[in-house]
C-alpha cells in the first residue's frame, strides 16, 4: 500500500523546469463521463488547452466518471456507458497529457465503486498515468523557475491542497464556505475543492511572521515583520450541461467554464493569480 493510501496527509514533490517563469494549472473535476448530460466538446477543449503549452498542467479532483451501480444513487438505465467503459475512456482520454497531471484524488462517484467492490478507479488511473494519488485529499508542492529571493538557483515553491468536497449546497455562500473551512485546516497557497459543480474563486491573504528579526530603533526591542501571504480558494466547475438530475432537483444551471491558476515567479517574490 502506498503512503497516500494509509490515510495520513503527506505532500508530493513536483519538480518542474527551472526555465518556467509561470506555471498555469487548470484543475479539472466533475467530468461525470457516463452521464447523458456530459459535454464531450468542453472536455476536449480543456485537454487541448492543457496540451497547448509546456507550462500548462492539471490536477484531477474527482467525479471523473459517473459510476452508477446497482443500489447506488443515480438511474442506471440513463447511464450512457458501463463503469468498465467509463474507466477506460477517462484513462485513455488523459493518456496524451499524463505528464501534465500533478495529482489525482477521489470523488464521491468513484467512492461508490470503492465501497461496493473495493476497487479504487482513481488509484488505478493515477497508476496508469504515473502521477501522485491521495484518496480523500492530496497535497502537492510545486517548484519551478529560478531567482526566488534574488538567488538565481533558488526555485519558487507553492503548495496546493485539493479535496473533492462533500454534501449538498444550493447557494454560492453555502458552496464557498466549504472551501473556506478547508483553508482553515491546512497551510497552502491554493485550496481546490469541487463537487458543487459551480466554479468560483475567493482571494484571501493571511499574515505570516517572517523568520528574520530586527531591532526597533525607538524601543530597542527585537521585533519582526509580518508577511502578507496569498491564499486562494478555488471551487472547480463541471462538464455537465443543464438537464436530467439537476433540472429534476431544481439546481441552478452553472457555467462550464474553467479556472486558471497562475503561479508566478518572475519578480523575486512568489505570487498567485486565479482567473476564470
* Among 34, 107, 132, 134, contact with Fe ion (rule: CB under 5 A): 107
Identity of the residue, 120 or 189, whose beta carbon is nearer to Fe ion in the bound complex:
120
* Among 42, 100, 195, 231, contact with Fe ion (rule: CB under 5 A): 195
* 242: its cell numbers: 443543464
Strands 200-215 and 190-193: unpaired
Q: To the nearest whole angstrom, how small is the minimum distance from the Cβ of residue 46 to Fe ion?
A: 15
Interface with Fe ion in residues 58-97 (CB under 5 A): 63
Helices (H), the chain: 40-51, 83-94, 108-117, 121-129, 172-183, 245-248
Identity of the residue, 55 or 193, whose beta carbon is nearer to Fe ion in the bound complex:
193
Q: Give burial (CB, 10 Å; 0-12/13-18/19+) of 68.
A: buried
* 272: its cell numbers: 498567485
Q: To the nearest whole angstrom, how small is the minimum distance from the Cβ of residue 194 to Fe ion?
A: 7
Stretch that binds Fe ion, among 28-36, 110-118, 149-157, 168-176 (CB under 5 A): 28-36
- DSSP code at position 257: -
* Among 22, 108, 114, 202, contact with Fe ion (rule: CB under 5 A): 108
Tally the residues of the chain. 276
Q: Does 237 bind Fe ion (CB under 5 A)?
A: no
Residues forming beta bridges with residue 206, ordered by sequence position: 229
Stretch that binds Fe ion, among 83-91, 104-112, 198-206, 265-273 (CB under 5 A): 104-112
By CB under 5 A, name the binding residues for Fe ion. 30, 63, 107-108, 195
Amino acid at each position: 500500500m502506498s503512503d497516500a493510501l494509509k490515510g495520513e496527509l503527506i505532500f508530493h514533490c513536483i519538480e518542474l523546469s527551472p526555465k518556467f517563469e509561470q506555471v498555469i494549472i487548470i484543475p479539472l473535476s466533475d467530468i461525470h463521463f457516463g452521464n447523458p448530460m456530459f459535454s464531450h466538446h468542453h472536455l476536449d477543449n480543456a485537454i487541448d488547452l492543457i496540451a497547448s503549452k509546456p507550462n500548462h498542467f492539471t490536477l484531477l479532483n474527482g467525479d471523473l466518471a459517473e459510476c452508477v451501480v446497482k443500489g447506488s444513487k443515480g438511474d442506471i438505465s440513463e447511464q450512457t456507458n458501463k463503469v468498465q467503459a467509463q474507466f477506460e475512456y477517462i484513462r485513455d482520454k488523459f493518456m496524451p497529457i499524463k505528464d501534465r497531471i500533478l495529482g489525482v484524488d477521489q470523488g464521491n462517484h468513484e467512492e461508490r465503486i470503492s465501497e461496493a467492490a473495493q476497487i479504487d478507479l482513481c488509484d488505478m488511473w493515477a497508476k496508469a498515468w504515473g502521477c501522485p494519488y491521495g484518496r480523500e485529499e492530496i497535497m502537492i508542492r510545486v517548484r519551478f523557475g529560478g531567482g526566488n529571493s534574488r538567488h538565481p538557483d533558488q526555485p519558487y515553491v507553492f503548495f496546493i491542497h485539493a479535496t473533492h468536497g462533500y454534501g449538498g449546497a444550493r447557494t454560492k455562500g453555502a458552496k464557498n464556505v466549504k472551501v473556506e473551512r478547508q483553508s482553515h485546516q491546512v497551510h497552502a497557497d491554493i485550496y481546490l475543492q469541487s463537487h458543487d459543480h459551480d466554479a468560483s474563486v475567493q482571494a484571501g491573504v493571511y499574515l505570516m511572521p517572517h523568520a528574520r528579526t530586527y531591532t526597533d530603533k525607538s524601543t530597542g526591542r527585537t521585533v519582526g515583520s509580518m508577511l502578507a501571504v496569498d491564499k486562494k480558494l478555488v471551487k472547480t466547475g463541471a462538464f455537465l450541461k443543464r438537464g436530467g438530475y439537476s433540472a429534476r432537483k431544481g439546481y441552478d444551471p452553472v457555467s462550464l467554464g474553467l479556472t486558471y491558476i497562475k503561479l508566478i515567479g518572475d519578480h523575486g517574490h512568489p505570487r498567485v493569480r486565479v482567473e476564470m
